[in-house]
Amino acid sequence: MQQPIVIRLLTDMEGIITAVREEKQLVDGVNLYTIQYKSGSFQVKALLAIHSNSESDALGEQTKSPAILYCRGGYKKVGQVNPLRISQMAAFGYTVLAPHYRGNQGGTGKDEFGGDDMEDVHVAYELLHEMSWVDDSRIHLYGFSRGGMMALRAAMIPDRYASVVVWSGVSDMYLTYEERKDLRPLLVKLVGEPDQESEGYDIRSPINYTEDISCPVLIIHGTEDENVGIEHAVRLANELKNRDKTYELWLAEGATHLFDSPYMEQYTIKMFSWLDMQEFRMNS
């Protein structure tokens, strides 16, 4: 039996991708894979969701597709990549690559909550860049919760991304330390106390470096978010405005950290319309 074209192509990316496994399809028209890739000296697992139209594009016969680099939230088993969510996103005609980060899902190394594990995001971009069916001028970043911090930092590299979406995202790690007393033991373990390890908190606080963000930013946040307070979104928007950056702030009235189904569907559809608009502006 012939291998699916994507598995053959990914297997051909020697030296970076070290394993590919096809997963159960969760959304019609979207194929799902687990891949393993090298990030420095570590092996990192990721989920890859590909719209079936994009798979035929792998033959080079059709127009290339856009892509999303999905930065997960949480830590270890909390906030894991949701296969259904990324499959639903890919159904909009995208290729979606979602690293689990090092030290998760059988990968080697240690998840540092925005430390050296940022390299896992940078290498994931290189993978998307090398996928023959992906239009590398239409690669977007998406960050949820802790992943918002990761995505914003990745967006500081110029000439890579078409846009960045920050959904319920962290923008200031000092603020996270203040508002999440339940997370303080973990933050102290991974980063240290803010007054003793300010450098670690500084690099994990992209709000301090908005001048370097090189693409349009969409901020989506629930007004009743108790995990990542709305102040993260408001402060980020203010900093972007002060730096004369292109951004939009969408506040979902009454929504919590995870959004319920009607809000999730509504804002996901709006988000993809916004992504399309960024591509239109790029090409106009």
Q: Which residues are catalytic?
A: 145, 257
Selection from 251, 249, 255 nearest residue 224 by Cα: 255
Q: How far apart are CA 157 and CA 154, in angstroms?
A: 6
End-to-end CA gap in the chain: 45
Q: In degrees rounded to 5, what are phi and psi of residue 20?
A: -140, 135
Contact 219, 171 (CB under 8 A): no
Q: How far apart are CA 134 and CA 257, in angstroms?
A: 31
Question: Angle at the Cα of 131 (from 15 to 206), degrees rounded to 5?
Answer: 90
How buried is 245 (Cβ within 10 angstroms: 0-12 exposed, 13-18 middle, 19+ buried)? Answer: middle
Contact 207, 171 (CB under 8 A): yes
